[in-house]
Amino acid sequence: MFLDKKILLGITGSISAYKMYQFIRVLKQKGANVRVIVTPNAKAFVSTTILSTFSEHKVYCEFVEDDLWQNHVHLGRWADLFVIAPASCTTISKLVNGLADNFLVATYLSCPAPVILFPSMDEDMWLHPSTQHNISLLQQRGNTVVEPSTGSLASGLNGKGRLPEIEEMINYIESNFIRQSILAGKKVLVTAGPTEEPIDPVRVITNRSSGKMGYAIAESLYMLGAEVYLVSGPVAIKTKYTGIHLIQVNTADEMYSACNQFRESYDYAVFTAAVADYTIPNRSDKKIKKLDQDLQINLTKTKDILGTLGLQKLPHQKVIGFALETDNAVDNAIEKLTKKNADLIVLNHLSDTNSCFNQDQMEVSFISKDEIQKFSSLSKIEIASKLSNYIIKNWLQ
Ligand code: CTP
């Protein structure tokens, strides 16, 4: 997503400035071009040698360096995005007042690109009316200000003022500035993870599923501009982007009800969840004690969510299912396509040696009524990206 994006990073004098080493490395790994400006005060906290090594470019600080005038206007116009992190109280105040006594502020005043600030300071400084007034002025002028996180501060106190974790910063920028708009206006429903059917208060019947496939698809479609509703069973992972609407459920019945509310409104629905096919109709309210004899549990069928929504789909809606098969894989997948009235089934070839639970690389086929496309050795993120491209190529009007 950051590929070839021009990110200008302004670092100011704050203890958390050292975290920018990692920030630059992640941006570079994601394919961004990075230029760095430091304020004179920032030099007390970071090494310009390390910053220039990681960014693979000289670091700017003074208006004149080695008898050469540094062109802040040119640098400001170069950027696709100006990130000021950490943004200290002093720099925030200078930005508000246009006090261009250093290269960073002068560049800010000449920069037509969007600006995002990550303030970092002690909690009392952050909460002070002067800072809050300055922050609200910056926001009124169109700058994005991300609130600091809460936790232990360099002062030894606990409170608000920490720079967010690098991953959170990157995800925020991706979500708010790098997100594309090709699927803008499209509503997508995604199911993910397992469901859990309680036997008693401490025991459940479930399927093995990490949820990673569904989350990757939700994130991919979200980053292309879609409005995404992710209905997720219990999983250990989180969505990268807060803009994704996460609806957490436990049972198959809860997952069905959550999906059913979008029955008429979704454009594309992707069903990756490993939904339990059976549930316990008369679960015990109390923990079942171990008996001398065997225990019989009566199971009843759950609703097929994809099958139900697939059969009810409206002309503008497209539905994608997933199939995990061991025998007669393609035939079974084609049968599911027809039976569930899906437009596409993504078949995971489970019998292949490189394709089983918790494997990073999978062999999958995209099966529609017109064609079968086979892909070998794809990661879940690559499958998500291929599926997004399939939707755009075949169904986007
Ligand atoms: N699915 C669903 N609701 C269910 C069961 C399955 O929405 N109650 C969806 C899954 O999310 C997946 C597709 O149906 O997209 C296929 O699931 P799978 O378990 O392979 O198919 P089943 O219909 O349950 O058949 P079987 O387990 O016998 O292969």
| Closest C-alpha to ligand 1, atom 4 | 304
Q: Are residues 99 and 16 in the same domain?
A: yes
Q: Are residues 172 and 215 in the same domain?
A: no
What is the CA(256)–ligand 1 centre distance, in A?
12
What is the CA(275)–ligand 1 centre distance, in A?
7
Tokens 């004098």 correspond to 13
Q: Do the domain assignments include residue 1?
A: no
Domains held by the chain: number: 2
User: What pTM was computed for the model?
Assistant: 0.88
Of 178, 208, 226, the domain-final residue: 178
Q: Do the domain assignments include residue 307?
A: yes
Q: Are residues 170 and 78 in the same domain?
A: yes
Q: Do the domain assignments include residue 55?
A: yes
What is the CA(363)–ligand 1 centre distance, in A?
19
Tokens 């008369």 correspond to 282
Please report the DSSP string for 279-308 in residue order.
E-TT--SSPPPP-SS------EEPP-HHHH
- Residue 323 zone, left/alpha/beta (φ > 0; ψ -120 to 50; rest): beta
- Which residues belong to the active site? 207
Beta strands at 6-11 and 33-38: parallel, antiparallel or unpaired: parallel
Q: Are residues 380 and 241 in the same domain?
A: yes
DSSP 3-state assignment of 226?
coil
Q: Are residues 157 and 35 in the same domain?
A: yes
Question: Would you state the pLDDT for residue 66?
Answer: 86
Q: Are residues 121 and 229 in the same domain?
A: no
Question: Would you state the pLDDT for residue 358?
Answer: 61
Q: Are residues 103 and 143 in the same domain?
A: yes
By most ligand atoms within 8 Å of CB, the mutation choice from 277, 328, 343 for ligand 1 is 277
What is the CA(277)–ligand 1 centre distance, in A?
7
Range of the domain at 276: 187-395
d(CA 122, CA 106): 26
Q: Do the domain assignments include residue 61?
A: yes
Beta strands at 227-232 and 187-192: parallel, antiparallel or unpaired: parallel
| Contact of 366 with 152, CB cutoff 8 Å | no
Question: Would you state the pLDDT for residue 291?
Answer: 86
Counting from 1 in the atom list of ligand 1, the atom nearest the Cα of 273 is 11
Residues with CB under 6 A from ligand 1: 191, 252, 271-273, 275, 277, 302, 304-306, 321-324, 336
| Closest C-alpha to ligand 1, atom 16 | 323
Q: Are residues 31 and 141 in the same domain?
A: yes
Of 128, 155, 178, the domain-final residue: 178
Of 111, 144, 178, the domain-final residue: 178
Residues 6 or more apart from 296 whose CB is under 8 A from it?
Answer: none
Q: What is the pLDDT along the chain (397 residues), one digit of tens a residue?
A: 788 899 999 999 999 999 999 999 999 999 999 999 999 999 999 999 999 999 999 999 999 988 889 889 999 999 999 999 999 999 999 999 999 999 999 999 999 999 999 999 999 999 999 999 999 999 999 999 999 999 999 888 899 999 999 999 999 999 999 999 999 999 999 999 999 999 999 999 999 999 999 999 999 999 999 999 999 999 999 999 999 999 999 999 999 999 999 999 999 999 999 999 999 998 899 999 988 999 889 999 999 999 999 999 999 999 999 998 888 999 999 999 999 999 999 999 875 454 455 667 899 999 999 999 999 889 999 999 999 999 999 999 7
Q: Are residues 320 and 205 in the same domain?
A: yes
Counting from 1 in the atom list of ligand 1, the atom nearest the Cα of 345 is 15
* CATH number of domain containing 67: 3.40.50.1950
d(CA 144, CA 327): 53
Q: Are residues 128 and 213 in the same domain?
A: no
Q: Are residues 140 and 284 in the same domain?
A: no
Q: Do the domain assignments include residue 27?
A: yes
* CATH number of domain containing 193: 3.40.50.10300
How far from the centroid of its chain's Cα atoms is residue 13's Cα?
30
Number of Cβ within 10 Å of residue 392's Cβ equals 14
Q: Do the domain assignments include residue 50?
A: yes
Q: Are residues 191 and 302 in the same domain?
A: yes
